[in-house]
Amino acid sequence: MTAALELGSSSIRSLRREGDVLKSRTSRCVYAVLPDSPAHQRLLEQCGLQFTTCEEGILLLGDGAYEHAELFKSPVLPLMVGGRIPKGNPLVRQLISSLVEVILPIASNRNEICTLTLPGGATIDSSRDARSDLEFYVRLVKLQGYEPKIVPASQALILAELVDNAFTGVGIVFGASGCEAILAHRGDPICYAASDHGGDWIDRQLAKKLHAPSVAADDDADNAATDQNFARESLLAITRRREQLKSAATISGDDFTKHVELLLQETIFELCDAFSGELIRSRRAKELPSPLPIVCGGGLIETPGFGSILASVLQAANLPIQTQRPRLITRSDRSIARGLLISAELEATSRPASRAA
């Protein structure tokens, strides 16, 4: 048996094969603290919502917080900012642990593999905060009874979408906590680049342009809790406004939309510039047959006009490899989880029978 766990700063998803059936669980990575009162508790019970209590009040976690917290006039707060777990906040760490326990079922057999991808490029970033987050997530997966294996989201996208190309090509993920690109040959990584410019970064820049309070990515523990909560609430409102563009029948072309388009251009260029440098330094990249396919996933690709912006930036970036027209994978959250599961199953089948016993 194998499992996949896609950890993102905006949502978390698991995928597991049970016999011939694929089973998935997903939740948003948010929480809310409601005023503690018997009336509030009765109302939550009547709505069938699971909750717990703490010194601060009533805690709602995941989708329940996202969908119902505003009814109680309480802010919805992200568990992570910029893909990082806030420092000096044991409550958030406990909530993330609880969310992983709910989303990732306990392993049914010994030595089951769980492949996971992490928010904010924690597998590549060498900073102390990133390593601390990585160790924390790995420990949570082990507590569920699995042997963890880290796989970049961009590599998982290739495994899911480039089967007909023998898992050879470029995978790019434009996510909330950052963006990453990988060149793979038969599923094995050759070049990798990452940038912390993603949806969260775009929303912080929008907050500055709109003169709304923002919050630093490292979430300084010395800041007052009330200021942090207010800043996060404001950022979430901007995130929702940006995401509403995805479902708009027409694009208004107002200042907000123009800001989003310009920031998307900067985000894509930042990644392409870093990726181009890695490709130039790679001898193997120049030896692959061309033109290479490109698959793109992540929440940002659903922004109207993203395909045109991406094409123009790729042309200006002049990558040192020949590529086909980029293919945007909508609902790529499912593709990434599927690619993670493929990686886990390939790993399991390649192991000696004695280890799998």
Q: Tell me the per-residue pLDDT of 190-218, one tens digit each, with 9 for 90 and over.
A: 999 999 899 989 999 998 888 766 655 44
Before 293, cis peptide (omega within 30)?
no
DSSP SS3 for 215: coil
Is the pLDDT higher at 47 or at 159?
Answer: 159
Please write the tens of the pLDDT for every residue from 115-141. Answer: 999 886 555 445 556 778 899 999 999
Please write the tens of the pLDDT for every residue from 50-65. Answer: 888 888 899 999 999 9
| Per-residue confidence band for 349, with pLDDT thresholds at 50, 70 and 90 | confident
| Per-residue confidence band for 240, with pLDDT thresholds at 50, 70 and 90 | confident
| Residues contacting residue 351 through CB under 8 Å, at least 6 positions apart | none
The mean pLDDT of the chain is 87
pLDDT on residue 260? 94
Residue 226 has pLDDT above 60, yes or no: no
Is the pLDDT higher at 170 or at 318?
Answer: 170
What are the phi and psi torsion angles at 164 (to 5°)?
A: -70, -15
* 4 DSSP β-pair partners: 15, 115
| Per-residue confidence band for 352, with pLDDT thresholds at 50, 70 and 90 | low
Mean pLDDT for the stretch of residues 42-56 = 87
In the block, which residue shows the tokens 């945007």? 328
Please write the tens of the pLDDT for every residue from 68-119. Answer: 888 888 888 889 877 888 888 899 999 999 999 999 999 988 889 999 998 8
pLDDT on residue 110? 82
Please write the tens of the pLDDT for every residue from 167-177. Answer: 999 999 999 88
Q: What separation in angstroms does the CA of 255 have from each of 183, 231, 238?
A: 36, 22, 14
Question: Vertex 96, ends 90 and 98: CA angle to 5°?
Answer: 105
Sheet (strand 77-78) strand order: 52-53, 58-61, 30-34, 77-78
Gap between the Cα atoms of 63 and 49, Å rounded: 10
Beta-sheet strands, E only, within 152-213: 169-174, 179-185, 188-195
Q: Which helix (H) or strand (E) element contains residue 274?
A: helix 255-281
